[in-house]
Amino acid sequence: MSSSPNHVLVTGASGVLGSGVAGALLAQGAGVTTLQRRPAQLDGAREVRGSVTDHDTVRQALTGVDTVVHLAAKVSVSGPGHEFEHVNVEGTRLLLNAARDAGVSRFVHISSPSVAHSGTSIIGDGAQPADPVHARGHYARTKAAGELLALDADAEDFRVLVLRPHLMWGPGDTQLTERIIDRSRSGRMPIIGSGAALVDTLYVANAVDAVLAATRAVDRHHGEALVVTNGEPRPIGELIRGLARAGGSPEPVLRVPAGLARVAGSVIERIWEAIPAESGDGEPPLTRFLAEQLSTAHWFDQRRTREVLDWTPRVSIDEGMRLTAEHYAG
C-alpha cells in the first residue's frame, strides 16, 4: 500500500519542472527541501544551494528526507563531455549512495527518452532499455548511464522509479518552448523535412502531476522506467508552428531536407566543439541529434505509464497551447 511522502528533496528546483514539483508538494502539505545552484525562491521550502556533485552539500540536503526527486542535470546539445559526465553520472552516483546512507526509502529519477533513441523512428513503443553506447550526444549518453545507476540501486528498502518526460513544453519552459519562440522570431527555426513526423510531447502541468504520482506509486511499482507523454501524437511541424504562434512569433518558413539537416548538424557540431560561436541562446543552431529529433517519428505507448502511476494528463495539447498563448500575451 502506498502513502504520500513526508519530506521530499527536489534537486534542480530552479527549473520549470523542479519548481513546479516542489510547489505542488508544498501545496499538498509535504515538507520540501530543494537543492540547486540558483535560488529556487519557493516559500515554505528549505533551500540548499550547491551542486549534486558536492558530498557535503548533498548530505546536508538529505537531512530528514524520506523521498528524493532527482531532476538536476546538465542539459544542453553541446559542450565538453566531461561536464555532462560529472553531473549526470557522478552526481547521480553520489546522490544515490548518500540517499541510501541517509535512510531515504523512495527515489524518483527523472531521465529522458533520448537515453534509448538511436536516430530512427519510435512508433508506439514503451520504454526501451537505456543504451549509453548508442544514444546520441553527450547529454543522452550520460543520462542513459545515470539512469542505469539509478535502476541498479533499486531494492525493497530503497525503491527507485524512473520517469522519462518527453519533449516537455509550456509556460516558463526555456529548454524547448522559449527556444522555438525566440528562434522563430529571428527566422532561425527550421522545419526539417516535411514536418509530418508524428511526435509525442508533454505539457508542463501534466509533467508535474506525473512526478507527484510517481512519489506515491514508487511504493507499489519500482525498478523500471516509464516514458511520460500527453499521449496525443501530432505532426512535429504543427507543434513547432503552434508554439511559435503561442509566443507571438511568426510561424517558421525555413525548410531544410532531412538528409541535408543531418549532415549539416554533424558539421556544425564539430565546428561548435572546436570554436563555440555566438548564438542567441548559447546553443549551436543545429546538431545531428536535433535534426533526427525534428525529422523522425517518436511516439509512445502510454498504457503501462498510466497503469503504474494511476495518472492521466489533465491538460490537452490544445488547451495547453491556449494557456501558453495567454502566458506570453500577459
257 SS3 class: coil
The CA distance from 302 to 229, in Å, is 7
DSSP string, 47-68: EEES-TT-HHHHHHHTTT-SEE
| Side chain identity, residue 242 | G
Residue 74: how many CB atoms within 10 A of its CB?
16
Lookup result for grid cell 531532476: 71
Q: Which three cell numbers stand for residue 224?
A: 523500471
Dihedral, CA atoms, 300, 302, 308, 310, nearest 10 degrees? 150
Residues noted as catalytic = 139
Q: Are 7 and 30 in contact (CB under 8 A)?
A: yes
The CA distance from 60 to 157, in Å, is 21
The CA distance from 207 to 80, in Å, is 29
Q: Which three cell numbers stand for residue 319?
A: 488547451
Three-state SS letters, 140-187: HHHHHHHHHHHHHCCECCEEEEEEEECCEECCCCCCCHHHHHHHHHCC
- Supply the angle between the helices 16-27 and 204-217 in degrees, to the nearest 10: 60
Q: Which three cell numbers stand for residue 109?
A: 529519477
